[in-house]
Structure 1
Amino acid sequence: MPPVFRFAPSPNGYLHLGHAYSALLNFDLAQGCGGRFLLRIEDIDPTRCRPEFEQAIYEDLAWLGIAWEQPVRRQSQHLSDYRAALERLTAQGLVYPSFESRAEIARLVRERQAEAPWPHDPDGAPLYPGTAKQLSAAARTERMRRGLPYALRLDMAAATAQAGPLTWTEQGEGPEGETGVIAAQPDAWGDVILARKETPTSYHLSVVVDDALQGVTDIVRGQDLFYATGVHRLLQTLLGLPAPRYRHHRLIRDAGGMKLSKSSQSVGLRALRGEGASPSDIRRKVGLL
């Protein structure tokens, strides 16, 4: 079977040079080895994802000379797949609801930090400090019956104990130059959120389900997701899904050394095209020519 690569943007803004580099790299690698290239639209957040951004993704990628297989998988059309995975984890006793608001969690973190340094995940966010895992089944049911907002979390201690030691094969490199066989450390993320009352899946859950269902064999993405691979390897193991090969690539940064992002209003491909840039210019800017 030929290798399968994918590019999976969220339609919550216009693509920038960082997206162009990742999409072009995936496309070039697929073409170079006679593999397949898939496009996936990760639109599970209805408050931020918009149709005009999705249409812009198609237009920008086509302008770059990238072709993808049809049909395009849109996550919003496959919520039942994520629900089934969540139910499987729940049946294993690995999922529990937490009911604290973001403000309450921030208060709990401040209280704990007043006593001793509180651990943070690789992205710098504090680990979940609450005690919802200790609530009785009756207490959980009552709170959910009352319609309280909740997040469904992975019991990381139980999950890692069940899965045992995990690794992945890194064909690129991590932020510190890590490559080869990497020991996964999902516990560095604490009890990660798998879904919320109003959102039936999370990035971590949906990405491993999608990659497995689409037969993705090679995941090529930015170094900012290197450490998240530990969580993904854990979920793959718990759900009985295959382990892809991983290749994390360098990030495209602005003149100040910051990673390009939609939230920081990084210049989009559409704007560069409007200024007269060509697809070859974009390749040159990201170091692929």
Structure 2
Amino acid sequence: MAKHKVGFWLYENGGGLAIQKKFEEQLLERDIQVVPDLNLREASASSGTILCNGVSMEELSLYFSYNAGQQTQYQIYLYDMVDRLIPVINNFNSFALTEDKFKTTHLLRQHNIRTPDYRLCHRNDLDSLRLAMREWGGRAVYKPTDGWGGIGIVRLENEESLDMLQPFLHQLDVPHFFVERYIDNDNTDFRIDIVDGQFVGCYGRQAPKDHWKTNITSGGQVINREANDEVIDIALKAAAATGLEIAGVDLLYDREHEEYVVLEVNGIPAFATPEQEANGLDFNNRKIELIVDLIERLVQHPDQRNHRQLTTSTNENTNA
């Protein structure tokens, strides 16, 4: 009988079942048993216990939540509570932070990590957005602060575009507007995977012809891409600033200012699919090994769980 039990909720599509099997085999070699399919959507709580598929979450040594496509507010609500009781990967504070584009971008800038210029304002303060767009040469990108996969992102070509967008956003009862300066780029990006403060691998995404979004859900295509020292260094600092144990850092090369900028920090970066592995993305095994090492360390030393308060480090020389 294994000394420790860890709960898993891992996506199943795109090779996820094979990935989970590798986790189960490697962790069992370290006397750690995986309890799979602990989807908090199926959980309920009473009398001091959160019960999920017959498993008391409080009795686990750790919970590994890694399914971006099926998160609901109910699951996230319980995710927060579980994290208060046992180690969780990713820790909830950092996961929740990186689900919000504004908060992530603002924190990165506090740590002197380059991001697109941005403006957040109340939805009735369009004058502030117009001023920002003028400063940026008339082009911007509107982003829902809590969106993913490129959903809801709109490129604004001029101030008139902003006026046309406003009624739609009012219908959605959006409390604030978040816009970024449009980055002049070649319609490709970098995705840098980081686990436990270590570089795992790199690939890119390319937007469809005559389009500008690189997200796979928007039609983007995964491409092989070599990481240079600069993008790795930026990604390591971005992951550290957010506090994520596992991070996927998305960067663009700004041709106008000749520098790399961080667009997002993703708390659930996907493993390479079998098709992508066949085309040369070979970082899965290293990523699994590093996560297994991280799990083993946290179940043996739960006091090392990452609950530190994220603070600015403007006194440090963290410019990438």
The two structures share one fold, judged by TM-score above 0.5: no
Q: Which has the higher contact order (CA 8 A, sep 6+)?
A: 1
The structure carrying a bigger strand percent of its residues is: 2
TM-score by length of 1: 0.32
TM-score by length of 2: 0.30
The structure carrying a bigger helix percent of its residues is: 1
